[in-house]
Structure 1
Amino acid sequence: MSDDPHHDDLEDLRRALGRPAAPAPDPEARARAVALALENFDRFQGRAAGLRQGKDRPRGAGFRNGVRRMSSSLFSRPLLAASGSLAALGLVLVVVMPTARLGQLPSPAPESLTGEFKAAPGAAPEAADQAAPRTLATEGATPILRRMAEAPAVPPVRGDSEAFSNAPDNPLQVTAEAPVSTFSIDVDTASYAIIRSSLRAGRLPPHEAVRIEEMINYFPYDYPAPESGAAPFRPTLAVTPTPWNPDTRLVHVALQGRMPAIADRPPLNLVFLIDTSGSMQDPAKLPLLKQSFGLMLGRLRPEDQVAIITYAGSAGEVLAPTAANERTNILSALDRLDSGGSTAGEEGLRLAYRTAAGMAEAGEVTRVVLATDGDFNLGISDPDELARLVAQERASGVYLSVLGFGRGNLDDATMQALAQNGNGQAAYIDSLNEAQKVLVDQLSGALFPIAEDVKVQVEWNPARVAEYRLIGYETRALRHEDFANDRVDAGEIGAGHSVTAIYEITPVGSPAQLTEPLRYGETPAAGTHGDELGFLRLRYKAPGESASALIETPIPDALTEANDDVRFSTAIAGFGELLRGSDKLGSWGWDEAIALAEGARGTDAFGYRVEVVQLMRLAQSLSR
């Protein structure tokens, strides 16, 4: 070897082996190569779209920028010369991929890793490259990279893999054909918080993320509470003109749950089931989760118990059942949590339920609180199968609530399926303020049920109502016969909860009627109930009971005064219709919705109504 610092030892070795000299570096060629590498990376991501999007696979801008930096380094002058020399010596270049990605690839490698890719300009194919596709393990990197460069262009993968639980808008119903409407109540609030998260990020939410009933029920209302000794909740009815259609009316069905004396509440057993998989490392996920649960501890009592179960590649107990006043031990266990691995959600659920069963005593409330971004990719991952698992455990009396964290791979569909079948509530936590609302301010309603399997049924009077539609509750619809069937699961009302449902009805003879009268149909007679628009029936079970109780009340055919709560809930319904791109609002738009909400803010102790007015203004700007 020469002592000359500028001497190229690799060039001597190449000449000794009879190999041609490496070409002189070309800055323009380097620039083309870098651009091509990034282009082919995007194609590679698109070709892999057929694979399940694992939570722990790097993707998005961060990973792409990393590839850009790696490409820049690989195409620097020293490494170009070295890689050319290694190729001349016939050495194999090992391509290192993230272990989470390699660990999830099937064998043999899928076509997306072995097909033809676009070649660099001027590249000459070798005879060996004409053979059948080979995998990374059976051939050198240079032929593979060439075939990667020859792949046809495909659309890029979406920047996220979110899944939402929703259904098409409820259709308009002709009263003479289908006079009965039946649904389960819903006190979830996840949709509103997801919408807020999207708008604050500068984009309109996906239509499928908008569940209007969850937007309406996000806000507290001052409905009349039930009297002492009466049913656990009280219905209130209101009939008002429709702001977007003067020829129809809105019928508000509101339920207000009682607030038992806090001092009398039973002991609470909580199992925190925490997703610690790799994707939870985002600041809006596991770090926010730890802070959120820390806030909640201040509202617990010494007789309450807390246990912590985590799951990633497998599930395990981090904190055995511990008295809630041992805050130092509980906070220390939370602080030690770290993220990494896959998402064995099924195993975590089973362990959490076993832990909860061991904590439960007669007369106590026991609940599993699942905190996750929702993507289960080990064990059972199908929402329907997970729902069946939770439904089986429901019979033990252990409730399941679900808290969603973070965006990008939020699996709202799975979280909704779990909460609805686990006799619990689904909420989305996007900030400490939301954690304060859900886990502190509304702790009693979120954790202490006062009525289970609450069902609503309205029978409309065809002599007074020609058509009707239920606004929202698309995922909560029940069959007519499900109403009296006590084996059919429905929603729960917690202490102090309020629930609102809104129907838009078309009176008989109104010019707003959209359907033609039947040729052979008869005009319904008013009969003995001519002063009623319809009849409201409610069924519910006391916690732990198997037989339901019935509440009935007529809906008078008379307009009522629209107070602030009625007008504000109407504005939120209109907000949801606008976000979903509804065709039922006519010329009524953002300005009218904002003015209605602004004028109905009323008492707004926590500023929730002020916040939504600002969100509506933001949505209006984004929609333009």
Structure 2
Amino acid sequence: MVSPSAPLVVTGSRIGDALADAAEAATSPASAPPAVSESRYHWIPAVQAPVDPGREQYDGEEVAPAIWAHRQPVSTFSVDVDTGAYANVRRFLSDGNMPPAAAVRTEEMINYFRYDYPLPEDRTQPFSVTTDMAVTPWNADTRLLRVGLRGYDLPRAERPAANLIFLLDVSGSMNSRDKLPLVQTAMAMLASELQRGDRVSIVVYAGAAGVVLEPTNDECRIRQALASLYAGGSTAGGAGIQLAYDVARGSFIEDGVNRVILATDGDFNVGVSDRDALIELIEQQRDSGITLTTLGFGTGNLNDAMMEQIADHGNGNYAYIDSAFEARKVLSEEMTSTLFTIAHDVKIQVEFNPARVSQYRLIGYENRALREEDFDNDAVDAGDIGAGHQVTALYEVVPAGGRGWMRERRYEARPDAPAPTRTDEMAFVQLRYKLPGEDRSRLIERPIAARTMERAGPARGDLAFASAVAAYGQLLRGDTLMNGFTYRDAVELAGAQDGYWRSEFLQLASLAQAMDTRRP
């Protein structure tokens, strides 16, 4: 670790012109947007080719397989509020390229958008739980089950004081308009949202790490420090992270928000650069009450895999910033409320009743899967939910007796009949979470009636839009179970949309349709 007494030299203001250009581009009319426990259920025994990402690093999982409910009725995973994959995919498409399948995480595509979930009734249960179902748009023989969570909103006046450490990569790899200048624009936006009692420090790293700005609430000083930065040198990211945590501890706010915000392309090449070593370093810090948000920038050497994983292990979130508009969305419109964590270690477990469901698959969340026994184990870390956050998960299920993806095995012994109990339920949803400051989890349980599946109709409204985004993500990933469903079908399913971000989705899906030569 490099001592703060030997800081990196960061004087000079040649970035100032680029920063002004980026701010002007953000406001120009041409680019402005328009307005493990005992089972609850029992059987009686008896394209266009995707662009080569070059030096960019992704760690995409294979599309999760379909599962027989009678063999493995329980599905367990950690929630995820990251959105980085959506913005990164948008960058590829906007540049005229199909994204590599490994860059696509469908759950982040779905969770990029907000849905019409109700607010929780009180803060002792900090999020509401919504379940609904429709006929799967791409397979009339299956049903799509949605599980949605919505955290309570936190008015600005009620947000606790925040101790924010901007950890900024100023290495040579950040020397392009879509990197350091955009970082400066984004951080200036966040600085403009400060309230009395908040404080910001700035730590930078290149070949070494140093403190540029001691904790302050002075927006003018923050902006001046940001404008003075320029890029050059190698990338000692590990040293920068360690120094940022040291600064965070020195300015720690009891009962406040203490968060390191790392802005980088993730190209660590000096010191601690191994992802596992960085994760171990970050895990050692998270129990101290200091969380980590990562913001990805730029192209060519983006290390998406690194940033997504270290944010998850730092009890934070990962976003990719491809424009000043996205910076405003993430750091101005959303960050001021979502800085405050309302529920820790949130896990979802769904048990399917084999008497009602023969097969199922979870759409996305492949790298968030947990073992069944992890659900009741409070020592197992999981995702956090901030004020105002939403989480959506979709399961595609095959009703018992329906046509599924897999045929019965010739020699597999099967029970003669399902258990006679609870045949009025098709599934049982459980959620575990911890309130801030608590070490023992709380439990929410929700049975889902079998009639929900029997009465399912076409997807409409918000569920139709969520289904369209899920289809878009799965098509980008090369999912082979989409039955000829196309990006054009996803656009039609989503329907007309008024908001800027949802309208933009329709354009992106249409772009993908035009560029993906693998599909009609």
| Bin for the TM-score computed over the shorter chain | 0.7 to 0.9
- Which one is further off, 307-316 or 297-306? 297-306
Partner of 2:125: 231
Query: Equivalents in 1 of 2:299, 2:354: separation in Å?
Result: 46
Partner of 2:204: 310
Alignment of 1:553-572 (within 5 A): 553-557=446-450, 558=452, 559=455, 562-572=459-469
Query: Equivalents in 2 of 1:520, 1:567: separation in Å?
Result: 39
Q: 303, 310, 326: which one pairs with 1:411?
A: 303
Q: Work out whether residues 397 and 544 of structure 1, in 8 Å CA contact, stay in contact via their aligned partners in 2.
A: no
Partner of 1:531: 424
Query: Equivalents in 2 of 1:530, 1:174: separation in Å?
Result: 18
Residue 357 of structure 2 corresponds to residue 465 of structure 1: yes
Partner of 1:150: none
Deviation at 1:310? Answer: 0.1
Partner of 2:436: 543
Partner of 2:492: 595
Query: Equivalents in 2 of 1:259, 1:454: separation in Å?
Result: 18
Q: 145, 148, 154: which one pairs with 1:254?
A: 148
Query: Which deviations, in whole Å up to 9, do the C-alpha atoms of 1:333-363 show, x marking residues without a partner?
Result: 0001111011001100110001001111221
Residue 96 of structure 2 corresponds to residue 202 of structure 1: yes
Give the structure, 1 or 2, with the largest relative contact order (CA under 8 Å, sep 6 or more).
2
Partner of 2:483: 586
Residue 157 of structure 2 corresponds to residue 263 of structure 1: yes
Aligned-partner residue type, residue 531 of structure 1: D
Q: Work out whether residues 210 and 576 of structure 1, in 8 Å CA contact, stay in contact via their aligned partners in 2.
A: yes
Partner of 2:30: none
- What TM-score do the two structures reach when normalised by structure 2? 0.87
Partner of 1:379: 271
Aligned-partner residue type, residue 127 of structure 2: F
- What TM-score do the two structures reach when normalised by structure 1? 0.72
Residue 274 of structure 2 corresponds to residue 274 of structure 1: no
Give secondary structure in 2 for the equivalent of 1:539. Answer: strand
Partner of 2:503: 610
Q: Work out whether residues 142 and 397 of structure 2, in 8 Å CA contact, stay in contact via their aligned partners in 1.
A: yes
Q: Work out whether residues 463 and 523 of structure 1, in 8 Å CA contact, stay in contact via their aligned partners in 2.
A: no
Deviation at 1:445? Answer: 4.3
Query: Equivalents in 1 of 2:368, 2:337: separation in Å?
Result: 20
Query: Equivalents in 1 of 2:357, 2:449: separation in Å?
Result: 12
Unaligned segments of structure 1, at least 5 residues: 1-157
Alignment of 1:479-494 (within 5 A): 479-494=371-386
Partner of 2:109: 215
Query: Equivalents in 2 of 1:430, 1:306: separation in Å?
Result: 23
Alignment of 1:284-295 (within 5 A): 284-295=178-189
Assess, with a 3 A threshold, how the Cα gap between structure 1 residues 434 and 537 changes in structure 2: closer, same or farther.
same
Aligned-partner residue type, residue 440 of structure 2: A
Partner of 1:522: 415
Please say which structure displays the higher CA radius of gyration: 1
Assess, with a 3 A threshold, how the Cα gap between structure 1 residues 567 and 525 changes in structure 2: closer, same or farther.
same
Q: 392, 395, 402: which one pairs with 2:284?
A: 392
- Which one is further off, 217-226 or 184-193? 217-226
Alignment of 1:92-241 (within 5 A): 160-241=54-135
Deviation at 1:560? Answer: 5.0
Q: Work out whether residues 234 and 255 of structure 1, in 8 Å CA contact, stay in contact via their aligned partners in 2.
A: yes
Give secondary structure in 2 for the equivalent of 1:339. Answer: coil
Q: Percent identity?
A: 49
Q: Work out whether residues 464 and 526 of structure 1, in 8 Å CA contact, stay in contact via their aligned partners in 2.
A: no
Assess, with a 3 A threshold, how the Cα gap between structure 1 residues 345 and 616 changes in structure 2: closer, same or farther.
same
Quote the RMSD (CA, aligned, Å). 1.5
Q: Work out whether residues 574 and 593 of structure 1, in 8 Å CA contact, stay in contact via their aligned partners in 2.
A: yes
Alignment of 1:332-411 (within 5 A): 332-411=224-303
Q: Work out whether residues 486 and 513 of structure 2, in 8 Å CA contact, stay in contact via their aligned partners in 1.
A: no
Aligned-partner residue type, residue 312 of structure 1: A
Partner of 2:339: 447
Query: Equivalents in 1 of 2:326, 2:503: separation in Å?
Result: 15
Partner of 1:125: none
Deviation at 1:160? Answer: 2.7
Aligned-partner residue type, residue 83 of structure 2: T
Unaligned segments of structure 2, at least 5 residues: 1-51
Assess, with a 3 A threshold, how the Cα gap between structure 1 residues 375 and 229 changes in structure 2: closer, same or farther.
closer
Deviation at 1:444? Answer: 3.4
